[in-house]
């Protein structure tokens, strides 16, 4: 199970970093200070940069070995939002827009792989699957008995 988790973690980290890089490659040339002062026709560059920063942070946390289901949800949800946002933004012309933009084809493919990888991490990081729930229950039972003993002794200062 540990090998599967390691492989899924590697795929998730690579998908998050590659998606961030692809979105930054598209967004950075389109950002300009004039966009801040005037009305914006296309708001995607302002959305892609924070999404890329978030994906980089999630990738670093997953790479460091943090096993939190919330982290997997954040990474998978961000990738899913970017994946679903493409056809929502382009509407009925999404297939035509996808055919004319090779960067978008790569991003959509990597985002789909990343969503599956983060869903796999979410499944693997279940507390019972790693034995964390049993360890937490044992610690809770052990701590509560120890606390009761301390409280009982504290009341008897005779």
Q: Domain check: are 88 and 62 in the same one?
A: yes
Nearest alpha carbon to residue 75 among 25, 127, 129, 125: 125
Tens of pLDDT, residue by residue over 85-95, are 999 988 888 88
Which pair of tokens denotes residue 137? 């229950």
Tens of pLDDT, residue by residue over 133-152, are 555 665 666 554 444 444 44
Report the number of distinct structural domains present in the chain.
Answer: 2
Angle (CA) 84 87 90, round 5°: 140
Q: Which residue has the higher pLDDT, 58 or 97?
A: 58
Q: HSE, CB side, 13 Å, CA atoms: give it for residue 116.
A: 7
For residues 108 and 98, is the Cβ–Cβ distance under 8 A?
A: yes
Q: Domain check: are 144 and 93 in the same one?
A: no
**If you average pLDDT over residues 118-138, what whole number do you get?**
73
Q: Domain check: are 143 and 101 in the same one?
A: no
Q: Domain check: are 95 and 145 in the same one?
A: no
pLDDT value, residue 148: 47
Q: Domain check: are 122 and 138 in the same one?
A: no
| DSSP helix/strand/coil, 62 | helix
Tens of pLDDT, residue by residue over 30-69, are 887 776 777 777 888 889 999 999 999 999 999 998 888 8
Q: Domain check: are 56 and 83 in the same one?
A: yes
Range of the domain at 158: 133-158
Q: Domain check: are 54 and 13 in the same one?
A: yes
């Amino acid at each position: 199970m540990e090998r599967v988790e390691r492989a899924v973690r590697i795929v998730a980290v690579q998908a998050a970093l590659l998606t961030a890089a692809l979105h930054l490659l598209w967004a950075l040339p389109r950002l300009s200070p004039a966009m801040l002062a005037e009305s914006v026709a296309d708001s995607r560059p302002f959305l892609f940069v924070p999404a890329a920063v978030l994906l980089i942070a999630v990738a670093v946390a997953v790479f460091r070995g943090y096993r939190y289901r919330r982290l997997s949800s954040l990474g998978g949800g961000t990738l899913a939002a970017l994946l679903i946002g493409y056809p929502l933004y382009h509407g009925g012309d999404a297939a035509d827009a996808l055919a004319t933009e090779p960067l978008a084809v790569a991003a959509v493919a990597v985002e789909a792989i990343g969503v599956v990888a983060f869903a796999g991490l979410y499944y693997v990081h279940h507390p019972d699957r790693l034995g964390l729930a049993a360890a937490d229950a044992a610690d809770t039972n052990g701590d509560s008995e120890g606390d009761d003993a301390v409280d009982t002794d504290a009341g008897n200062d005779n």
